[in-house]
Amino acid sequence: MSALEVGQVVAEKTYPLTRDSLVRYAGASGDFNPIHYRDDVAAEVGLPGVLAHGMLTMGTAVQPVVEWLEGAGDDAGVLGWVSDYQVRFTRPVVVDPTAGAEIVVVAKVGKLDDEAGTARIDLTVNSGGQTVLGKAQVVVTLA
């Protein structure tokens, strides 16, 4: 734990999303709401376009923390595990039919608890230059 400092960036990553990503996620999750794949339905209900599933966005956002904890493939071994994860959905991720979308994640140490052996990792999650998840926090238990 001593190697970590509050304010330290532990992971940064950009993830592309395409309409194919949405179809694959719909199949895996069983969420076939047409706002996730049909422009006409999204427009009909007043949305700016086809939206990524909220849980897909949330799952994608925690991925760089998981990779960091797993040691990102180095010989250091597993650093710990996710013991809590919470977010507030602030904006949807609109996935353009041609260009797709990108989810940009920066993971920074927000708080250390030496006694509990945990760290709170604060996520900044953006798409199209706008924050899409607010108060995104991951509590990790360190090995």
Task: Give the separation between CA 12 and CA 131, rounded to whole angstroms.
Answer: 15
Q: Domains in the chain, start-ordered, CATH in brackets?
A: 9-142 (3.10.129.10)
| pTM tops 0.85 | yes
Return per-residue pLDDT of the chain as tens, 143 residues.
568 999 999 999 999 999 999 999 999 999 999 999 999 999 999 999 999 999 999 999 999 999 999 885 566 678 899 999 999 999 999 999 999 999 999 999 999 999 999 999 999 999 999 999 999 999 999 98
Decide: helix, strand or coil at residue 36. helix
Amino acid residing at 28: A
